[in-house]
């Protein structure tokens, strides 16, 4: 039998989500059909004015998974198939923030930017932070607990100091505001207090986090969906890595 998350984590989780549950304005959750955005959607499923939104290339994993699992949550959902001109248009708007990034980091930010640009009205919510807190990235595989804890803190510092502020600036450039409930300081502190050996990616990435999602009632189709990074799930990565455009 798996241990339950410590009470302080659950208390911090409730505190982080209470303002969103009790709010009255429009909220749009950037939903991939996976556990991170799925937890947010599940917790806010009874909140009026809340909807789910997904972007991706035609047939992309996120569009397929989101369309299949949104009915399990019961919130309104719509997906948008994006084309290469959508990427080029948004890149022109936010290039000051993405031009110096690596292809992977640029793919992530541009995938989010496309979603920001086309999402329905409202405050935007996304699942950033869960991979850093619950060791969801592939580079955690094979590390011992000490190494994994050190890498997790490095990843979290990079997210809080660079990646997330950049994401918020990109949203502002596009006239939107984006929030990450998992980066609530109370929740971050409580998650880091969970012993790292319990957060290790065994037997699957984010096993402990998935167990928590299941205990909250998140359907297995969402809680157990294999991890796929945003840029790959949306299919945007292949566009970003296509190389320079041919001359006219």
Residue 248: inside a domain: no
Residue 55: inside a domain: yes
Read off the pLDDT band of 233 (50, 70, 90): low
Read off the pLDDT band of 226 (50, 70, 90): confident
Residue 1: inside a domain: no
Express each pLDDT in 123-155 by its tens digit.
999 999 999 999 999 899 899 999 999 999 999
Whether the predicted pLDDT of 13 surpasses 90: yes
Are 225 and 65 a contacting pair, CB within 8 Å? yes
- pLDDT of res. 228: 66
Give the residue among 145, 126, 127, 125 at the shortest CA–CA distance from 135: 145
Residue 246: inside a domain: no
pTM of the full predicted structure?
0.92
Question: Measured between alpha carbons, how far is residue 170 from residues 45, 141, 147, 153, 163 in Å?
Answer: 27, 31, 32, 24, 11
Q: How many domains does the chain have?
A: 1
Are 44 and 19 a contacting pair, CB within 8 Å? no
Read off the pLDDT band of 3 (50, 70, 90): low
Residue 84: inside a domain: yes
Residue 225: inside a domain: yes
Residue 101: inside a domain: yes
Mean pLDDT of the 104-110 span = 90
Q: What is the CATH number of the domain that holds 36?
A: 3.40.50.620
Whether the predicted pLDDT of 238 surpasses 80: no
Q: Which residue has the higher pLDDT, 205 or 232?
A: 205
Mean pLDDT taken over the chain: 90
Task: Give the domain extent around 188.
Answer: 7-239
If one counts every other C-beta atom within 10 angstroms of the C-beta of residue 40, the result is 25
Question: Measured between alpha carbons, how far is residue 157 from residues 61, 118, 177 in Å?
Answer: 29, 29, 22
Whether the predicted pLDDT of 248 surpasses 70: no
Residue 2: inside a domain: no
Express each pLDDT in 49-65 by its tens digit.
999 999 988 888 899 99
């Amino acid at each position: 039998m798996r241990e339950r998350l410590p009470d302080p984590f659950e208390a911090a989780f409730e505190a982080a989500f209470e303002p969103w549950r009790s709010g009255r304005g429009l909220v749009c959750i950037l939903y991939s059909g996976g556990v991170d955005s799925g937890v947010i959607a599940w917790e806010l499923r009874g909140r009026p004015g809340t909807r789910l939104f997904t972007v991706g290339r035609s047939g992309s994993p996120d569009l397929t998974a989101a369309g299949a699992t949104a009915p399990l949550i019961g919130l309104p959902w719509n997906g948008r198939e994006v084309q290469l001109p959508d990427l080029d248009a948004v890149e022109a708007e936010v290039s000051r923030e993405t031009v110096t990034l690596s292809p992977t980091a640029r793919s992530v930010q541009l995938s989010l930017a496309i979603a920001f640009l086309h999402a329905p009205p409202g405050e935007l919510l996304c699942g950033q932070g869960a991979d850093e807190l619950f060791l969801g990235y592939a580079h955690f595989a094979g590390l011992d607990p000490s190494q994994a804890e050190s890498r997790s803190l490095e990843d979290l510092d990079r997210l809080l100091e660079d990646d997330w502020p950049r994401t918020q600036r990109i949203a502002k450039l596009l006239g939107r505001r984006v929030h990450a409930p998992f980066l609530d300081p109370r929740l971050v502190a409580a998650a880091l207090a969970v012993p790292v050996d319990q957060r290790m990616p065994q037997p699957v990435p984010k096993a402990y986090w998935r167990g928590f999602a299941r205990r909250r009632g998140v359907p297995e189709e969402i809680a157990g969906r294999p991890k796929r990074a945003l840029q790959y799930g949306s299919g945007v990565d292949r566009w970003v890595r296509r190389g320079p455009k041919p001359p006219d």
